[in-house]
Amino acid sequence: MHKLTAEKRKELRNLAERPDSDIDLTDIPEIREIPSDAVIGKFYRPKKATVTIRLDADVVAWLKAAGEGYQTRINAYLRQLMRQSR
């Protein structure tokens, strides 16, 4: 990523200091519903923690049999369980 010039930094600072009421939104349509092809949280990257966990060998084999990314799948399964328990 390129560094901002002093001029651009000043321009952004001035824009940030302006009140929201100064923003002209007339050319931006209001979003009334989320499009069906929208991807929510695509760029969300939560902080990761390194842990050691002991799993049964057959469970690990099953996870690895689906190909690369078994740790990501474990995280997804646990996240799904976490959401269900709320």
How far is 71 from 50, CA to CA, in rounded Å? 11
Take residue 32 and report the two structure tokens written for it: 């009334």
The predicted model scores a pTM of: 0.49
pLDDT reported for residue 74: 95
Rounded (10°) angle between helices 57-65 and 70-84? 110
List, for residues 7-25, the tens digit of each pLDDT value: 999 999 999 999 989 988 8
Residues 70 and 63: beta-carbon distance below 8 Å: yes
Of residues 53, 51, 31, 50, the one with CA closest to residue 40: 31
pLDDT band at residue 32 under the 50/70/90 scheme: confident
